[in-house]
Structures are given as structure tokens and as C-alpha cells.
Structure 1
Amino acid sequence: MTADLLKASELHKVDPVFGQVSFDGHEQVVFCNDKDTGLKAIIGIHNTVLGPALGGTRMWNYTNEWEALNDVLRLSRGMSFKNSLSGLNLGGGKAVIIGDAKTQKTPELMTKFGQFVDSLSGKYITAEDVGMETKDMDIVREVTKHVAGISVEKGGSGNPSPVTAYGVFVGMKAAAKYKFGSDNLEGKKVLVQGIGHVGEVLVQHLTESGAIVTVTDINDERVHQIGAKYGAKIFTGADLYSADVDIYAPCALGATINDNTIHNIKASIIAGAANNQLANEAVHGKILKEKGILYAPDFLINAGGVINVYSELVNWSREQVMQKTENIYNTALEIFKFADDNNITTHQAAFSMAQKRIDDTKNGLNK
């Protein structure tokens, strides 16, 4: 996530953190620093009303600490709503490690990070995110029990990415049902931006459903590999946002829907795996609504991964995990209708439903 994409909601050094757009009553923000391993990390705990805060750890080469802080605040907030909408007894949290995952991540760094997680005594449970793998969570597990998404060999649920992708797929189908009258994606033109672990599996589901898939990614080699593997088209235009497609699926980093891109979007539906797709939720959510573009809230349809890792905490079977993930379809339809009935954006509708569950629990109404 680059700073120029976050002008509407970024943190400013001259302003106090409390009261800014990204800060939303977070319960706790923990700065972690270790000179020996080079660890610089931030853990954001947004809300623990529904349970301990669970959210993955992202390792990214942020431009500066303020950019990292902005990201962890937005991501942890999104986890509160994601976990609430999914009906999980979890609060929202997230962690970011500042650095290049390809060159700076070491077992020693992950061990030290795990020790910081452990020092929070279970208030925050970590898992994998961008720049992390299951094997990294296995290292963290050696020093704390407050981690999910560990390998199957060590008793965990393994890589959550395939379940995340499936949730995005069923959420996309629900959006198609609501927008086009049918959830059949055969012949629909879909642009997938970002073909990492989640994006690739989404491309697979879309290809198998008969969709006409176009892919794009900052990794040119990866684009050609996935294009050849699934018979997908490779985007070669100058502006992917103005591409002639039915569905735009952002699956890379967030804030791709911003002041510079939103007026170019020609897709009828936006449904992808990326977190915080709207740079400014109020402004850009309203513009999408006015343009008649159906936005499937990211913190709803990308919830499959957290459902998968939550299964480790409550001993759900694989069948239960997939059933919960498939229910994203029904929840999405409910949110789309609620938004239209109340003349609000789909983001507002999803937020309202998620916040109501948190508030009802806080007030003792959910027993």
C-alpha cells in the first residue's frame, strides 16, 4: 500500500493519533522493537468485545513507520467487522512487521515476534497474512499458543488462502445474482488484480465456472505463469480500472479504489480479496453507489481465511468450515438488500450489521 493511495485517510505526523480517520477507538496499539533480530512490528487491537482479537501478521517494506501504523489501524478495524459479520466469537486485531519478507525475515525474527505476541497473554491471536507463510506461524507456535494457521503436520488447519479464495468466489456469485439476476458466471468477464496465493485459487474457481478471466500483477513472470496454467488473458492496457469487464476483483493490497481510479471503473461489480479496498470508505462507497457499481464489502467476502483459522480454536471439521464460508453468499445478499432498502452504501450496510452484533454483545443482548 503506497502513501499516495491513502491521502484521504493517512496519518499525519503533525496531528495526534487519537481522533484521526484510521484510529477508531482502538483498545491497544503495541510497538515491538528488537535490535538483535531487526524486528520492528506494530500490533493493533481494535476491539475485544466478541472475544480475543484475531488477525494475521503482514510483513511489508513500508516507506516509513507512519505508513505501517496507518495500515495496522485500518486492518485491525476491518478484522473486528469481518469477525463479527462471520458470526465468530472473536475481536479484531492485526500486526505488521516492517521489512522485506524475501530478504529480512528470519527464524530468529519470527521467534522474537512470537514472544511479543505471547506477552499480550491471549488478547491478540496472530495468523498469516501478506509476506507470511504457514511455516512462519509454526515458528511462532514454538514460543506462544496464541497463534492460528499452523501447518496440518503440527495439528493446524494449514494455509488459509484456498478457503479465503472460495469465500471471495461465493461472494462474487452472490453479487452477480443480485446485479445480473443469476449467479452463473459463465461468459462473464472478470479482471483479477493480484495473483498471489488467494488470487490464483480464485482464478481457478472462475476458470472452472466458465468465466473469461484476465489477470494482472506487479510480478510479470507470475502473470505469464498463471495465464498459461489457467488459460487466462493477460492485461496489457494502460489503465486496468477502465478495462471493459463485468467484474473487477482486487486481490492485491488495499486502497486501489481511490480518487485517481474510481471514475475510470467500468465494471458493474467490485468483488475481491484485498483488505480496505476503498481508500476513503464514506466518499468512495458513495461514488460507487451513484455510479451503479455493486461493491461486495471486502471484510465480508474475504472472511474465509479467518473462518478457517478460527476452526483451530473451536475444533470445527473441514465440513463446518466450508459450510460457514459458503454462508457468505447468503449474508452478501442480505447486505445488498439492506443497503438498497435503506438507501445506503453496501459498506455502510455491512458495517451497520457488524457493529450491531458488537453493540448487542457489549450491552448483554447476545446471550
Structure 2
Amino acid sequence: MLAGKRLLLIIGGGIAAYKALDLIRQARRAGATVTPVLTRAAEEFVTPLSASALAAEKVYRDLFDLTDEAEMGHIELSRSADLVVVAPATADLMGKMAGGLANDLASTLLMATDTPVLIAPAMNVRMWEHPATQRNLATLRGDGVKVVGPDAGEMACGEFGPGRLSAPEAILAAIEAHFADGPLTGRHVLVTSGPTHEPIDPVRYIANRSSGQQGKDIAAALRDLGARVSFVTGPADVAPPEGVEVHRVETAAEMLRAVEAALPADAAVFAAAVADWRVTDAASSKIKKDGSGALPTLSFAENPDILATVSKGAQRPKLVVGFAAETDDVIAHATAKRARKGCDWILANDVSPATGIMGGTENAVTLISEEGAENWPRMGKDAVAARLAARIAEALA
């Protein structure tokens, strides 16, 4: 899929730099030519010799290499590639990119290029969550830089959370998606997926039976048509698809914040099964039985209506698609929901236990739009996703 494509791979300094070597190997296996650039910090983790051997190309390291610069090497390097990939993209590199700094070879290449750029961030969770990093991320996205990851997990420093470099397979999938020549190439689509967990106490929560499979399949189908996909997922049973921007959340309030941060978008598909209510007085420690037989009293409040908020908001996408999971009067409830929420389409489905749809591998939906109701036959969730993605591509054409 990458045959004939030329990648300029900038390797930042961090423990995750070793994964860049596997990315070189996989990209070459897919047919790409990879030219590595190592920052000074990256050389503390991987050697120029190993990168050069795997790439079968010269490794570039120094901005002031007399031989290279006599031929304006940094200008040529920055413009001869089809895609510039930064992996790992450290907090320092992201800051330089967002601030327009050019004080070493990597940052100068990124300033001098007119080639598309894809970054794969990797850093400590506290650095990732720092307001400065998030401001830099927003700036880079606004500049058209594509982002894959980071993943959540255990860090080399022992902390846990978002900040892990995406797997080389996921970065490669994002690279392939960039070059995909599909009807959604150049489009940005937001997809929500999975359930939300609303805490009662530190060990108990309110949730539902959503597996996240339908949302995952929709995101993958949109990616395969060339879209850049922002995938906001609750704690789902299934892993996110590769080649999309993953934003993990727990609660409905967190999901709304992640959705708003991912806008603007050309289209949005709200496949998540968001909890309608949250506990207003969630306990800070585990609620214990006291032997008296008295039951705990829980107070509830409505969660934010994400679909309605986006449908009626200032950054409303051109096409907004919602889901209506119902157990009775499916079409009537879904039709009313579309009008009430202000979205363009609603995909209605019967999630009664007897259908096996919620948490299962198949779905049977009715697409409700201004034109009326269109029944789709029961099929695999991947087939539903492919059909929906094709309709979205038609609507955005």
C-alpha cells in the first residue's frame, strides 16, 4: 500500500524511540522508502547505525553538516518526502513545532517543509496532560498536523495513563490512511463509542451493556474511506481501531469535553451509549453495609446531552448522526428524538434482550432522516458500518 512512498521519519528523544526502529522495518515491508532523522536526545536511546541499517538509508543528525548544507540539505530533506512522520513526538518537539522554533535539524526540517506532517506523541502522563502540551496539541491540529495516539497504559516511569507511544502497527495504519485515496480523503469525522461509567463510589458505577463494537466498526469504515477520524470512546470491551485518533474517557461529562475539543469536524457520528444520569453525591470511599438493613440513598442528575449540544452548537458539523437504542416503539421514539436533538440522521435499533444486538456482533437499524425511515436488514456490525460510511461520503460529496 505504501509502494513508492517516501517517508521522512524524525525520531524524538524518549524511551519509546526504540519502537521507531520497528516502524522503519514495517514501513519498508509495506513498500515505503524511509529516511531517518535523529535528534540529539534520540541518540541516547537508539543508534544512528541501527536506524541506518534498518532503513538502508543515510541517517541525518546535524543541522550544520558541511557536506549536506552545501547542497541545502535541510531544505531538500524537508520537501522531498511524501509525508513527514515524527515518532516519538516528545513534549519538547511538539512545543518547538507549535512555537515555530528551528534550532536543530529536526525542528528546522519541520519549519521548512510544505509536506504533510503526522505526529505520534509519547511522554509522561503528567507532561501529556499539562495545559501547555494540550495548547500545543490544539495549535498543531489547527495547523493541519495529523495525530495518532498516544495510548494509555503503564509508563516506563511507573505511572499509568495516556502518554504511551502508539504501537508501530497503529502508526503504520495512520500512515496508510493518509495515503488512502477514498471519497473521504481530507475530511475529518468525529465518532463516539462505547458506554460511559458514572461512579457511585470508587469501586461501583452505573453503566450499560454496550460493547463499543458498532462504534469501532464505524470508525474503521470511515478511516478506510480516507477520513481522519477522531474516536472518543468510553471504557468499551473492544480495542479501538488502528489508524484513528483515540480519546479515552470514562464519564459523560468527560466525553462531552473530549468531543468539543475534537471539533471542528465535517461529520460526527454519536454511537456511544451515554448514561442518561449520574450520581450527584458519589462517595469518595467505598459504601459499606452497616448491618442495620438500611439502604443507601443515591441522588441523581441528568448528564449533558452530547448529541443535542453538538447539533445545536456553534461548531456544528455539516452532518450529525445519532443513534437511538430503544426497546419499544422504536421508530416513533427515534423519529421524535431526531427532531428533539436537532441532528440530521438517527440510526434506530431495537436493543431488547431477545434481539442480542447490544453487546452482540450483528445489528438491525432503521435510518431516519428528513426524508423518512429506511429499514436496513439485519447484518454484521461491520457491514452496517460500511453502509453508513458510504452514505456519509455521499452526503459530504
Structure scoring higher RCO (CA < 8 A, sep ≥ 6) equals 1
If you compute each CA radius of gyration, which structure gives the higher value, 1 or 2? 2
Q: Which has the higher helix share?
A: 1
Q: TM-score, normalised by structure 2?
A: 0.29
